[in-house]
């Protein structure tokens, strides 16, 4: 166990990396993408491959260090203490995320949603545009759903809960804040939205003791966005270019 008076040096370094390097690297990558007039198929596939590699390496390092510190996989959420509760909360959380995504995308396609800022252009540059890209993107979604939940709801939430404050609430809030920092490239609104999502995911993990609910909801959120967002943003742009009725 981690002492309530502090944390292991390697855990502190990992958290420092997640809170500083990850946001900076994310902003740098997005800045490079935004400077490109458009992305090619090769650009997108390279982006997908590098994302998959980075995520698994990060999760692998965390699992290596937690195993070295004799922290069980069950403590990180690799368990299903109560199958019925886990299934119920997984279904409810995934449904909530799906409805929110569909409503948001529907508003965008009708010109009522947020179509300004970085996200619309970023979506058209990074999301898949043909069947082959969608297959690879599917692997990206699985990777991100599993690895980010291991990192933030498994590792970070456990460390924050058991080290500095020894509080379930502290673990939920701190891990959600760290998760939102990783999405700083989305701007202030994105940080706030991701923080709220992080709170929901961390709460589900705390209530069930399992990573299954946040992994399921995370997969639904990213898969829905990747499959539907590009066409919705294109529709919105077409809508905005129409001449007003006189």
Q: Which of 28-32, 189-193, 213-217, 224-228 has the highest mean pLDDT?
A: 213-217
C-alpha span between 151 and 179 (Å, rounded): 9
**Which of 123 and 111 is assigned the larger pLDDT?**
123
| Average pLDDT along the chain | 89
Q: What is the pLDDT of residue 245?
A: 34
- For residue 241, the model assigns a pLDDT of 41
Residue 188's alpha-carbon distances to 53, 66, 138, 173, 211, in angstroms, are 28, 33, 28, 18, 27
Extents of the domains making up the chain = 9-239
Q: Lowest-pLDDT range, 69-78, 92-101, 223-232?
A: 223-232
What pLDDT sits at residue 233? 66
Does residue 161 contact residue 171 with C-beta atoms inside 8 Å? yes
Answer yes or no: are the C-beta atoms of 210 and 81 closer than 8 Å. Answer: yes
Task: Say if residues 158 and 171 touch (Cβ distance below 8 Å).
Answer: yes
User: Would you place residue 204 in the very low, low, confident or very high pLDDT band (cuts 50, 70, 90)?
Assistant: very high
CA distances from 189 to 126, 133, 192 (A): 20, 29, 5
DSSP helix/strand/coil, 225: helix
Question: Mean pLDDT across the stretch 90-108?
Answer: 92
Q: What integer is the mean pLDDT of 185-202?
A: 94
**Would you state the pLDDT for residue 164?**
65
* Confidence band for 230, pLDDT divided at 50, 70 and 90: confident
Angle between helices 212-241 and 83-109 (to 10 degrees): 10
Residue 95 pLDDT greater than 70, yes or no: yes
Question: Does the structure show a pLDDT above 60 at 3?
Answer: no
What pLDDT band is residue 121 in, cutting at 50, 70 and 90? confident
Q: Is residue 9's pLDDT more than 50?
A: yes
Integer Cα distance of 198 and 148 in angstroms: 11
How high is the pLDDT of residue 2? 55
Is 220 in contact with 97 (CB distance < 8 Å)? yes
pLDDT tens-digit series, residues 20-77: 999 999 999 999 999 999 999 999 999 999 999 999 999 999 999 999 999 999 999 9
**Higher confidence at residue 110 or residue 163?**
163
- Write the DSSP assignment of 132-145 as a string of letters: HHHHHHHHHHHHHH
> Under a CB-based contact definition with an 8 Å cutoff, are residues 227 and 138 in contact?
no
Nearest residue to 22 (alpha-carbon basis) of 60, 58, 64, 61: 58
Residue 22: predicted pLDDT: 97
Tell me the C-alpha distance between 168 and 112, whole Å: 39
């Amino acid at each position: 166990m981690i002492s309530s008076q502090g944390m292991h040096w390697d855990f502190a370094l990992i958290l420092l990396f997640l809170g500083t390097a990850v946001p900076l690297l994310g902003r740098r990558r997005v800045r490079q993408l935004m400077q490109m007039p458009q992305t090619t198929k090769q650009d997108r596939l390279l982006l997908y491959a590098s994302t998959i590699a980075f995520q698994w390496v990060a999760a692998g390092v965390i699992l290596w260090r937690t195993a070295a510190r004799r922290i069980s996989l069950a403590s990180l959420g690799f368990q299903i203490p109560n199958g019925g509760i886990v299934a119920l909360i997984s279904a409810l959380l995934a449904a909530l995320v799906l409805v929110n995504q569909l409503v948001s995308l529907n508003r965008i396609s009708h010109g009522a949603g947020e179509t300004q800022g970085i996200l619309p252009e970023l979506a058209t540059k990074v999301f898949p545009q043909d069947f082959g890209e969608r297959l690879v993107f599917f692997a990206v979604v699985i990777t991100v759903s599993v690895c980010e939940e291991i990192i933030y709801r498994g590792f970070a939430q456990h460390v924050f809960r058991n080290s500095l404050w020894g509080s379930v609430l502290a673990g939920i809030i701190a891990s959600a804040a760290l998760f939102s920092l990783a999405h700083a490239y989305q701007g202030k609104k994105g940080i706030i939205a991701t923080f709220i999502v992080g709170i929901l995911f961390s709460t589900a993990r705390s209530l069930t003791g399992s990573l299954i609910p946040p992994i399921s909801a995370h997969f639904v959120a990213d898969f829905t966005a990747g499959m539907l967002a590009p066409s919705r943003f294109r529709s919105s742009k077409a809508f905005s270019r129409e001449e007003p009725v006189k």
